[in-house]
Amino acid sequence: MAHRTRRTRLLTALGSTALATTTALAAAPPQAAAPPTVTVQPDPSRAQEEFEGWGTSLAWFANATGDHPPEVREKLADLVFGDSGLGLNIARYNIGGGNAPDVRDYLRPGGAVQGWWQAPAGTTREDTDWWDPADPAHWNPDADRTQRWWVDRIKDDIDHWETFSNSPPWFMTKSGYVSGGFDAHEDQLKEESVDDFVAYLTGATERLEKAHGIEVDTIAPFNEPNTDYWSTRLGADGQPVGGRQEGAHIGPGLQQKVLRALAPALAKSRTGAKTSAMDETNPTLFAANWNSYLAEVRGLVDRLNVHTYGTQGRTTVRDLAKEAGKPLWMSEVEGEWDPDGQDFTDMRSGLGLAQHMVDDLRELEPSAWVFWQPVEDYDNMKPGGESEQGGNWGSIQLPFDCTAEDTPKTCPIRTNTKFDTARNFTHTIRPGDRLVTVDDTSSAAAIRADGGGATVVHVNSGGEERSVTVDLSKFSHVSRDATMTPVVTSADGALEEKDPVPVEDGRATFTVPAESVTSFVVDGAS
Query: With contact defined as beta carbons under 8 Å apart, do 478 and 503 qualify?
Result: yes
pLDDT at 24: 38
Strand residues in 261-353 grouped as ranges (E): 274-280, 303-307, 328-332
pLDDT at 233: 95
> How, if at all, do strands 53-57 and 368-371 pair?
parallel
Of the candidates 125, 116, 223, the residue with the CA atom closest to the CA atom of residue 165: 223
Question: For residue 33, which phi and psi values (nearest 5 degrees)?
Answer: -70, 140
Strand order in the sheet with 396-398: 375-377, 396-398, 414-415
One DSSP character per residue, 181-232 reads: BSSTTS--B-GGGHHHHHHHHHHHHHHHHHHHT--EEEEE--SSTTSS--B-
Ordered mean pLDDT values, 10 residues apiece, the chain (526 residues)? 28 32 46 85 96 98 98 98 98 98 95 98 96 98 98 98 98 98 98 98 98 98 98 94 92 98 97 98 98 98 98 98 98 93 96 98 98 97 79 96 95 98 98 98 97 97 98 97 98 98 98 98 97
- Domain ranges in the chain are 37-46+437-525, 52-432
pLDDT at 30: 62
Amino acid at 23: T
The whole-angstrom separation of Cα 513 and Cα 33 is 15
Of the candidates 109, 223, 243, 263, the residue with the CA atom closest to the CA atom of residue 175: 243
pLDDT at 10: 23
pLDDT at 103: 96
The whole-angstrom separation of Cα 341 and Cα 103 is 33
Burial classification of residue 104, based on how many CB atoms lie within 10 Å of its CB (0-12 exposed, 13-18 middle, 19 or more buried): exposed
pLDDT at 8: 27
Query: With contact defined as beta carbons under 8 Å apart, do 486 and 503 qualify?
Result: no
Superfamily (CATH) of domain 37-46+437-525: Golgi alpha-mannosidase II (2.60.40.1180)
pLDDT at 18: 35
Query: With contact defined as beta carbons under 8 Å apart, do 427 and 418 qualify?
Result: no
pLDDT at 5: 27
pLDDT at 50: 98
3-class DSSP assignment, residue 263: helix
Of the candidates 417, 418, 422, 419, the residue with the CA atom closest to the CA atom of residue 345: 417
pLDDT at 15: 35
Q: What is the pTM of this model?
A: 0.93
Please give the CATH number for the structural domain made up of 52-432: 3.20.20.80
Beta bridge partners of 43: 437
pLDDT at 28: 53
Cβ neighbours of residue 505 closer than 8 Å, sequence gap 6 or more: none
pLDDT at 385: 74
One DSSP character per residue, 47-85 reads: EEEEP-EEEEE-HHHHHHHTTS-HHHHHHHHHHHHSTTT
Beta bridge partners of 128: none
